[in-house]
Chain A
Amino acid sequence: MTTASANRISGFHRTWNRFKTYISKPQNAILLMLGILLTITTIFPMYTIVRDTVRIHPGSIDTQGKALESQVDALGTTLTTYNWSNLFTETITTRVGRERVTRSVASIYLWTPLLNSVLISIFACFGAILYGGVFAYLVTRTNLKYKKYLSSIFIFPYIMPQWTLAVMWQNLFNSNAVTGGNDGLFVALFNVYMPRWWCEGIFPVSVVLAIHYAPFAYILIGGIFRNMDANLEEAATILNTPRWKTFFRVTLPLVKPAILSTVLLVFSSAMGSYPIPHYLKLSTLSTQYVGMSTNRAGQASILAVIMMLFGFLILIVNQKTTSGRKNFTTVTGKSGQSSVVNLGPAKYAISILFVLLTLFTGILPIILFAVETFLPNPGDYSFITHGIAGHTTTKWWLTSENVTENGMYGQKGILYNADIWNAFAGTFFVAICCALAAGIIGTLIGYCVSKNRRSKWAAYVNNMAFLPYLMPSLAVGVAFFIFGSGAGIYNTFLLLILAGTVKYIPFASRSALNSMMQLSGEIEEAAIIQNIPWWKRMTRIIIPIQKTSIISGFLLPFMTCLRELTLFMLLCGQGKIITTMLGYFDEMGLYAFSSGINLILIILILLFNTLVNKLTGASIDSGIGGDS
């Protein structure tokens, strides 16, 4: 402390004093550090993708040969416009039947996949909002039966790995006659051959994506329905407004923000999804990127840049919509949930319908995966169709030595297969590290931003942390792939953890920010006044009070990491983690192995979810639904 007499002070000293004061607040110091760190981890990999589009790649020199080399010699540069110009000008001639068809490279590699990506994203948004939104309304606003059961099972598709439903779709509907490969369950049981458009392409991809992301819509929209003051609707009812009018003029506008954030989330997630279009054979930006990345590396990066641009676009839309005056997200009220719509006799019909639907999306995949692992050959359902119990096998689980016969290709059974368990260990390691890093950083960001609400720098850090959320997973994966290859850390856990952390910080920062915003600043100020140090304020006051949402800030990255494929598949070899291992077995045709791994993964994730839910009360569907 300085005495009153020392108030004449030099300009530098004053600035220095101010800086000291600023930095002496922990939230400012942390924000400064995290801001710099996040700028590097978020912006730098993106920059490397953009740079990659103008770099010369070994592959392109091979195909273009001398022309490019001479160009390099002449200009003395390592940068080229070749990747761009070639993508838009080259044509490829193929034989289709007897005719020779000439198509431009851009249409095969860019325009068609882009169109498909946009289409499935739009369809997925519509589907997810319709399915999830209707379900949210039914659970929170009506006297639907079995709410508790439905509410928890509805989010299964989101908890489970993305490809689960895609694989199940194949297992159900594929047939040797239409799609080639093994016969699915429909053919085996009912002898029904589904048409090709039903089995592959835009339709199944959109449906599966919609079901997978419907829980988003349910959680976001349901959250608003649940917190919405029933008085708002009652006020309209008192004024003798017809019920449909109340719904469209009062209820719907209030959930508009939730619908919008669902749209943004689903759109960017669907755009970057790799496994679903991969399994269901649709050419999208992400599958095309993977397909062309070896011999057209620079051009593949152009696809990644386009995906990234969509991410930025979504971020801008998000900014515009959440900062407006019509942001009603805080509409909560004191009045208890009283206006429950009576569904009448339809109650049971609707409830049963949803029970069946959720059985189909939540339970059936698990059963199918389990059944799959006991079939002697993929698609051989003879034990059901012919009722022969002997036509099942436990060899996929129990084989304990290297055998090449029995279609095992020298692999040991799942329970004895060291490669599989190593990959599981790898996955757990990555998931734990990502969860810890993302959870801690996210919580700190949430805390610091809530303390500096007016500060522009805080808003910047928040956006930086949020950006990867809206970036398609594959684009983030590509960015870290190029970044990691350049930095020499390709195929290391470090790179996986880095990518996972950056991608999942938003999960933690969102939930931390939301909960910190609700915590009155005075709770901490009461401790500041008493000279309680910062770490003690955090560990003794703030974290204990907000432990539920902070734990979910750790839980979400962990769960997502366990089942992440799109983000990680470019960053490591196939044996590193379990999800990439799955791809390996699929390529090998060892579907029983991949089904077994899927089964273990799903059960583990569900177990963890239940465990954490029981222990801490934190859960993904946090308190929506089911009190009846």
Chain B
Amino acid sequence: MARIELNHVTKRWGGFYAVDDLDLLIEDNAFVTLLGPSGCGKTTTLRMIAGLETPTTGRITIDDTVVFDSDAGINVPANKRRVGFLFQNYALWPNMTVYQNIAFGLSNIKEAGLSVSKEGEIVRNPSAGGAERKLTKEEIDRIVARVSAIVKIQPFMDRYPGELSGGQQQRVAIARTLAPGPRVLFMDEPLSNLDAKLRLEMRSELQRLHLSTGSTFVYVTHDQMEAMTLATRICLISNGVLQQYDEPLTVYNRPNNTFVADFVGNPAINFINAKGAQQADGSFSLKLLDQYDATFVPGEEVRVDDWFAKANAEIAAFAAKERPTEKTNKDEPFKYPVARVSDEGVRDETPGREDWVLGVRPEFVRISEDGPVEGEIFSAMPTGMETTVRIRVGNYLLTGVVFGGVLYKIGQKVRLSFEGAGTTLFSRENGRLIACGTLKIK
């Protein structure tokens, strides 16, 4: 139905860059989530595409229509972009009944070649010609009946929004958004006001809705779980800058940098600082957790010198970008958290070329009798299906997930190893991903 393209879109207030030079291509029929911590610019991005916010510079295209172009001075207002928008607080009109809320927008449609199918679907065929006309009362009834059936709110048609529960209000808002048949559906944290159980239910309904409407969905959330489960692609933003735009599992398995690695995944990834150098065979011999020698074997061929040259060139290009004003919200390397029992005596050192950081997902921390690393259980949180354990190794804490309801005693001695080929290696200097690979403790 619709394809959206953003070219060099920037939104700033004075020196504050809410969105910084964003390029994004949203394919037709995609379900894209804009993900990031609060205040990162994801809602601003969404509102700019919808036309509720005006970008400072850049160009936005929906299908083949340029809806915004700062160079040409084009700015198609939101009402002419034919998009749907689901607001975080639903924005239902409190003075209208559920029926009126849904029908109000429909009573305004005035187009040529308009017809409504028996099922209540709007069919637009402008090339068919004919005079512009409005929808009849009966047609509106049919459309309202269809959309209210989709979200199952038929019993409430005469109620006012104030008389509905949060979940019901949410459904009304969805019905209202769907009614005029928008080509794109924008959603701004639509589930954040619902309780946990309802959220799970609505999540699966949204997925069904995406399938049945065939519209393009753009979805803003700060909940990485929502993004992982719903999206066909995740667009991760931090400080107004695009961090990664990939399919959910790619984002999870091959995070572009330490920020992405930390933001996605629950429980969060383990960061382990390491020191060492690349060997002639391509592997890295490292010293980590104060006492262990290890080897990291990259899953793909990578030469550190070439890699640094390329990364530094990119960083320099980003810094050299022309800006009308200085960016006050500075782009600083992400300060990834390293879990320790005590932060006493930890100094902030400037990392050099010898410094690396390893990212180990909790599911790759394996507790086994013959593991090379020795530790003790710091805390254990069984949920029934799995158990999340924190293991103390020296002054460090590692998080692991053990499948099944295994009971651990706090203080119990365990041995562990790192398994699988999914360990990630980042440069400590710039936080970027160097390679995925296997970590072996000697």
Contacts and interface: CB of A to CB of B under 8 A. Distances in A.
Q: Are A and B genuine complex partners?
A: yes
Interface in A290-339: none
Contacts of B87: 522, 525-526
Interface in A1-32: 1-4, 6-9, 13-18, 21, 24-25
A7 B71 contact: yes
B105 interface: yes
Contact of A531 (B59, B74, B108): B108
B27 interface: no
B40 to A, nearest CB: 20
A457 to B, nearest CB: 16
B373 interface: no
Contacts of A21: 73, 75, 77
A527 B91 CA distance: 9
Contacts of A523: 91, 93
Contacts of A13: 72-73
Nearest to A17: B73
B61 interface: yes
A215 B91 CA distance: 36
Contacts of B66: 1-4, 6-7
A525 B85 contact: yes
A540 interface: yes
A529 interface: yes
A6 B72 contact: yes
Contact of B71 (A9, A520, A525): A9
B91 A531 contact: no
A4 B73 contact: no
Given A1-B65, A4-B61, A545 B94 contact: yes
A529 B87 CA distance: 11
A7 B59 contact: yes
Nearest to B182: A529
Contact of A14 (B64, B71, B91): B71
A533 B75 contact: no
A21 B94 CA distance: 30
B85 A529 contact: yes
Nearest to B110: A531
Contacts of B69: 2, 7
Nearest to A454: B13
Interface in B69-98: 69, 71-80, 82-85, 87-89, 91-96
B225 interface: no
B176 interface: yes
A545 B160 CA distance: 13
Interface string B197-240: 00000000000000000000000000000000000000000000
B95 A544 contact: yes
Interface string A530-541: 111100100011
Given A2-B66, A540-B104, A541-B95, A531 B72 contact: no
Interface residues of A, number: 35
A9 B73 CA distance: 9
Nearest to A15: B73
Contacts of B65: 1, 3-4
A528 interface: yes
A14 B84 CA distance: 28
Contacts of B76: 1
Nearest to B173: A526
Nearest to A13: B73
B85 A526 contact: yes
A331 B105 CA distance: 36
A532 B91 contact: no
Interface in B270-327: none
Q: How large is the interface on B (under 10, 10 to 19, 20 to 34, 35 or more residues)?
A: 35 or more
A532 B105 CA distance: 6
B377 interface: no
Given A3-B65, A7-B66, A522 B79 contact: no
B180 interface: yes
Interface string B42-72: 0000000010100000010100111101011
Nearest to A524: B91
A540 B101 CA distance: 11
B108 A533 contact: yes
Nearest to A16: B73
B98 to A, nearest CB: 14
B71 A530 contact: no
Contact of A4 (B13, B64, B92, B109): B64
Contact of A528 (B78, B109, B176): B78
Among A14, A25, A533, the one with the most B-chain Cβ atoms within 10 Å of its Cβ is A14
Nearest to B81: A529
Contacts of A2: 66, 69, 72, 74
Contacts of A14: 71-73
A545 B176 CA distance: 19
Contacts of A6: 66, 72
A526 B88 CA distance: 11
Contacts of B108: 530-533, 536
Among A2, A6, A545, the one with the most B-chain Cβ atoms within 10 Å of its Cβ is A2
Nearest to B68: A21
A456 to B, nearest CB: 13
A18 B78 CA distance: 15
A536 B77 CA distance: 17
Nearest to A534: B79
Interface in A536-583: 536, 540-541, 544-545
A69 B52 CA distance: 66
A530 B67 contact: no
A527 to B, nearest CB: 7
A541 B104 CA distance: 10
Given A1-B65, A3-B66, A540-B104, A530 B73 contact: no
Nearest to B5: A4
Contact of B95 (A17, A522, A530, A545): A545
B52 A528 contact: yes
A562 to B, nearest CB: 31
A4 B71 CA distance: 12
Given A529-B78, A532-B104, A545 B93 contact: yes
Contacts of B75: 17-18, 21
Contacts of A536: 108
Nearest to A24: B77
A4 B61 CA distance: 8
A498 B69 CA distance: 44
A531 B79 contact: yes
Contacts of B67: 1
Given A541-B93, A545-B94, A1 B80 contact: yes
Nearest to B109: A531
Interface string B106-124: 0011000000000000000
Contacts of A522: 87-89, 91
Contacts of A528: 52, 77-79
Contacts of A17: 72-75
Interchain residue pairs A-B with the least CB separation, the first 3 = A17-B73, A530-B105, A14-B73
21 contacts: A1-B65, A1-B67, A1-B80, A4-B66, A9-B72, A14-B71, A17-B72, A17-B75, A21-B75, A21-B77, A520-B89, A526-B87, A526-B176, A528-B77, A529-B79, A530-B79, A530-B108, A531-B109, A540-B96, A545-B93, A545-B94
Given A2-B69, A540-B104, 5 more contacts: A1-B76, A529-B79, A529-B85, A530-B79, A532-B104
